[in-house]
Amino acid sequence: MQPRKLIMKNFGPYIHEELDFGDFQEGGLFLVSGKTGAGKTTIFDGMTFALFGETSGNLRSGKEMRSTFASPTEETSVRFSFDHQHLHYEIERRPEQVLAKKRGDGVTNQAAKVRLTIYDQQGKERKQISKKNEVDTFIKDLLQLDAKQFFQIILLPQGEFRNFLIASSNEKEKVLRNIFGTEMYQRFNEWLKEQVKKQTKQIEKQQTAADHLVTRFEWTEPATPVSLVETLAYWQTDLEKQRSHQQTIEAKKAQAEQEKKTAQEAFYLAKEIHKALAEQQELSQQAANLAAKESQILDDKLRLQQLDWASEHQEILRQKDERAAEVAQAIQQLTFNQQSLEQWQESQEIWDKSREVQVDRKDEHTAAKQRLQMLAQLKPLAEQVQQQEKQVASLQETVTQQEKQALHLREQQNLTMNQEQGLKEEIQKHSIYQVQEVQLVRGENLLNQWQMLKKEEQQLTDTQQQLTDQQRKLHEEQQQLVSKYDELTEELVQEKSRNAKMQIARLSLLLVEGEPCPVCGSLEHPAAQKHTEYSNEEIIDSEQQLESLENQLQQVGEDRSTNLLLLEQVNDQFQTIQQKMSALKEKQQTTYQTLREILQPLMENMLGQTVLKEEAGKEPADPLLTEELTEKEIATTYFKCQQINQQLKEQFALDSQKLTDVQANSQHLTEELTALEASLKTASDALRLEEGKLSSLKEQTEGVSLEQLNEEQEQLAALSSRLAALIEADQLEEQRLKEQYTILTEQQRNLQQFLVDKQQAAQLAQERLEEVLPAECTEQQMRSLLNDLEERQALRRTIETYEQQQRFVQQRQLELAQFLQNKAVPDLEVLQEQVDQSEAAVEQLQEQVIRGKEQIKQNQRLFEELQIIYQQNTKQLEKISHLQQLSEVINGENEKKTSLERYVLQRFLTEILEVANVRLARLTRGRYQFELADKVGSYRSSTGLEIDIYDDNAGSLRRAHTLSGGESFIAALALAISLADVIQNRSGGIEIEALFIDEGFGSLDEESLEMAMEALEMIENEGRMIGIISHVRELRERILQQVVVQTDGSGQSKIRTKL
């Protein structure tokens, strides 16, 4: 991979910087220089971010790399292009960032973006990828490197590798672990140690659990075992003894239970005999009691027979009672019908007495009908009178209404004429708005012009203030620069003096007897001054300090000149602004006076008018612009005049429209009044004609009105209807009395015959009852028996209970006699004592059996738990043994004192040294070779990764720290480049054809620096592009191609190339 170009926008300290690596293709060696913190490493951060989306070491995210000098709307982006296998790749990334909105206020969150474009040799685009996952996968597949490995390959920390050569194995292990990622071996070793600790704690827990089990085991014969194995063996033997003893106890318990059963059976038989004897005595008593109840039972049986007979013949008695009830009912009905006949006779007598009233009612009804006929003949004439009266009244109302309308129309006509005259006057008054409108348009143009001049004045004022602040700041900076320049001058003089002393001291040490002094040319110095001895490092530090002071003094001088130039520019700008301000003031005053001349008459004319209703009665505003007003007050005054004129214009249009409407309304009123007067004359003539017709009709009806006729007619109709209803009711009552008499006489005959039939049926029922009654039983006694029929169920239960008890007593007496035959009466107390003794023996043995079972069960459980613990303990001991051995081997506790991680790193380091030896032999012309020391040191910290140097001139090995400055630089350079090659080859990635070496030159003397430059030139011949990052002055003089990172003092940096 050959880098081509890097463009950084708003990235780190760079606003918009471009680094073209193609400038260094011909001469592949170039220098990267700049102050500390200027942004040299940011160049490599940009390359790493463009490729992988993260910075070197992943210390800062892409979002955090956004420049603090970036404009709020400008994006942060990095574009990196490179060549590989005849293809050109260009990748651009934008991190996640917050930007100000280009339109409106606020900010917007921009998501991270990436775009990879691939071109062929002719520059034609072949493919473009813009999805982050696809781009990241493509770059990873192409380079086969991650961001960390890429940074390790392209930027070599030369100073660190010089230290790496002489570092201890422990220190080398830390560096190589970080490079090759062997932390897993270290973590694995720590994990093994932790596992050993855990297993040890587990074994301790198991032993504690076993000790607890031992305290709970119940021994038959206590013993003192010394191990888990012996404990298990003793416990097993003791458990066998416990089980044998348990079998003996259980056999004794079975025998005691059999003896208990025999005693219980004998005791229970004795109790049955005693119980039978007691029951036999009780049955004898019950038999005697039953015999005493025998006569009562016989009476109950007789009583039950009588009740059954009464129940059997109760239907005959019921029929007799029903016939008697029917006779009584027939007598009652016959009596009621006789009473109804007597009532009818009374009603007939009353009817006969009312015949004269009925005749008068019929005469009155006839007279009413005749009067109604006469009223019917007069009603049409009365209706005509009423209709004529309504027509006359209607005509009278029409005439009256039209007279009122005519009067109203005349009043409206007068009012309309007055309105028309008033509107004409108002229209004449408001027409002034047309003149004022022209003035307002002119005033608006002047107002806009004056406002623009005011804005321009404010801008000039702001610019003046900014220039004033800038002048003050530049004066202060100039004073600071002058003070700093004086301080640096004094410090430089002191440092030159100090450096001169060091040089003199160093030269005095180099004087050779007999040779001329390089300073004064003398061969002898009899009174040479004694000088302080200075180390080479102190001299180099003094030279660097002297160079730094010279650079600072030069920079401050340049800054002072630049500052003076800026101050003069600011002064010139300030004078220009003052001239513009004077011209602007004059133009403002002219515009203001013209605007005032226009507005003043408008205000005097408008504010004195009260056109709008809402302004009537208010005090007028300030009529004159007597004082100079502000921009806001002038604008307010103008817009108020404009508003008033607009109101005048609107009122003019409104009044014109009103005048048109009023004139049209006046014409309409005139036409309406003419038509109304003609209609009024016609109505008056018709009224006189209808009044004559009404007078003639009233004479024919004799003055009776239709209302009176209708009232009398209604009264006569009501009377006629009432009399007709009464006459009809009289007729119906006469008919009802005749029909009622016929019904009552027929019912009397039927009831008399019904009574005779029922009396005969009652006699037959009585005769049947007498036939079934026994001689000793009367009807009354039978009725008494029927009332007591409910006793039958109780009597039956009593008789059945008696007979059941009698049978049970007889049967049970027989059974007991058979049971007690040939049996003696036993002694219960003796048998009870035998039972109690046997039960106590069984209970005692039962407790022993239970206790023995529990003890065996618990001991067996403890035995099994101890077996599990023993098995686990055996496995744990075996496991911890293996872990302990593995931990010791991996941790380096072996003969070679080499851990597994260090062994792996030995293989990596061996591979690096093999590659480095090829390059070291070329750089040292075959003199030196790296060798990995195989000697076991006294401690692990100095064993396994020690590097020796084979010196071919001496034919022996030597320690790396014995190399000179130049030699150690060459060795470290070969080692660093080889490390990059190994990492690259192991990753399977493409070849990186650019290399940057970071520092490592500052401590080299002149000879060593020369050796280093020769080595770099040899590396350059391999076809690599090599960039040296250094502050050393000699390198700036010897390496012509340079990338200079310059800062402006505020943190912002720029990239400049020298070719």
Q: Which residue has the higher pLDDT, 695 or 808?
A: 808
Burial of 514 from C-beta contacts in 10 A (0-12 / 13-18 / 19+)? exposed
pLDDT beyond 70 at 999: no
Report pLDDT digits (tens) over 399-456: 888 778 888 878 887 888 887 788 777 777 666 666 666 667 777 777 777 778 878 8
Cβ pair 249, 852 in contact under 8 A:
yes
Instruction: Give me the sign of the Cα torsion angle 158, 159, 164, 166.
Output: positive
**Opening angle at CA 73, ends 69 and 79, nearest 5:** 75
What is residue 622's predicted lDDT score, i.e. its pLDDT?
45
Average pLDDT on 468-488 reads 85
Instruction: Give me the sign of the Cα torsion angle 228, 232, 237, 243.
Output: positive
**Cα–Cα distance, 108 to 106 (Å, whole number):** 7
- How far CA 620 is from CA of 597, 616, 617, 644, in Å, comes to 20, 10, 9, 12
What is residue 89's predicted lDDT score, i.e. its pLDDT?
94
What is residue 186's predicted lDDT score, i.e. its pLDDT?
74
Tokens at 666, concatenated: 């006046």
Question: Which residue, chain included where needed, has tokens 């686990």?
Answer: 872
Whole-number CA gyration radius for the chain: 72
What is residue 1003's predicted lDDT score, i.e. its pLDDT?
61
What is residue 619's predicted lDDT score, i.e. its pLDDT?
45
**Cα–Cα distance, 167 to 566 (Å, whole number):** 54
Cβ pair 65, 971 in contact under 8 A:
no
- How far CA 105 is from CA of 66, 67, 99, 101, in Å, comes to 21, 22, 11, 6
What is residue 415's predicted lDDT score, i.e. its pLDDT?
85
Q: Between the CA atoms of 438, 440, 444 and 445, what dihedral angle is there, to the nearest 10 degrees?
A: 30
pLDDT beyond 70 at 6: yes
Residue type at position 1024: R
Question: In which band, very low, low, confident or very high, does the pLDDT at 95 lie, cut at 50, 70 and 90?
Answer: very high
Question: In which band, very low, low, confident or very high, does the pLDDT at 75 lie, cut at 50, 70 and 90?
Answer: very high
β partners of residue 174: none
Average pLDDT on 496-516 reads 67
**Cα–Cα distance, 971 to 1023 (Å, whole number):** 20
β partners of residue 931: 948
pLDDT beyond 70 at 744: yes
What is residue 419's predicted lDDT score, i.e. its pLDDT?
79
Cβ pair 1043, 1027 in contact under 8 A:
yes
pLDDT beyond 50 at 625: no
Helical ranges in 891-928 per DSSP H: 900-923
Average pLDDT over the chain, rounded to an integer? 79
**Opening angle at CA 65, ends 61 and 71, nearest 5:** 140
**Cα–Cα distance, 970 to 1013 (Å, whole number):** 9
Residues 6+ apart with CB under 8 A from 472: none
What is residue 134's predicted lDDT score, i.e. its pLDDT?
92
Residues 6+ apart with CB under 8 A from 584: 453, 456, 457, 460
Cβ pair 158, 1008 in contact under 8 A:
no
**Cα–Cα distance, 567 to 470 (Å, whole number):** 8
Q: Between the CA atoms of 212, 213, 215 and 218, what dihedral angle is there, to the nearest 10 degrees?
A: 170
Burial string for 206-231 (b: 16+ CB within 10 Å, else e) reads beeebeebeeebeeeeeeeeeebeeb
Residue type at position 353: K
Most trustworthy range by pLDDT among 437-446, 491-500, 995-1004: 491-500
What is residue 615's predicted lDDT score, i.e. its pLDDT?
40
Residues 6+ apart with CB under 8 A from 630: none
pLDDT beyond 70 at 490: yes
**Cα–Cα distance, 704 to 476 (Å, whole number):** 130
Report pLDDT digits (tens) over 708-741: 777 777 887 888 888 788 878 877 877 887 888 8
One-character DSSP codes across 957-991: EEEGGGS-HHHHHHHHHHHHHHHHHHHHHHHT---
Kindly state the percentage of the chain with pLDDT values over 70: 86
**Cα–Cα distance, 402 to 406 (Å, whole number):** 6
| Pairing of the two strands 1025-1029 and 994-998 | parallel
Average pLDDT on 477-481 reads 85
Least confident of 135-139, 353-357, 995-999, 1000-1004: 1000-1004
**Cα–Cα distance, 344 to 741 (Å, whole number):** 7
Report pLDDT digits (tens) over 847-860: 888 888 888 888 88
| Pairing of the two strands 97-100 and 1025-1029 | unpaired
**Cα–Cα distance, 1038 to 1041 (Å, whole number):** 9
Residue type at position 486: D
Report pLDDT digits (tens) over 177-216: 777 777 787 777 778 778 778 878 877 787 787 788 778 7
Q: How many helices (H) and strands (E) does the chain have?
A: 21, 17
| Angle in degrees, 0-180, between the axes of helices 158-166 and 169-180, rounded to the nearest 10 | 140
Q: Which residue has the higher pLDDT, 454 or 699?
A: 454
Question: In which band, very low, low, confident or very high, does the pLDDT at 10 lie, cut at 50, 70 and 90?
Answer: very high
Report pLDDT digits (tens) over 943-987: 678 888 888 888 888 888 788 777 887 888 788 778 777 877 776
Cβ pair 647, 609 in contact under 8 A:
no
What is residue 233's predicted lDDT score, i.e. its pLDDT?
82
Cβ pair 143, 916 in contact under 8 A:
no
Cβ pair 67, 43 in contact under 8 A:
no
Question: Which residue, chain included where needed, has tokens 């407790």?
Answer: 847
Burial of 769 from C-beta contacts in 10 A (0-12 / 13-18 / 19+)? middle
β partners of residue 18: 7
Q: Between the CA atoms of 133, 136, 141 and 143, what dihedral angle is there, to the nearest 10 degrees?
A: 180
One-character DSSP codes across 292-353: HTHHHHHHHHHHHHHHHHHHHTHHHHHHHHHHHHHHHHHHHHHHHHHHHHHHHHHHHHHHHH
| Architecture of the domain delimited by 1-144+994-1059 | 3-Layer(aba) Sandwich (3.40)
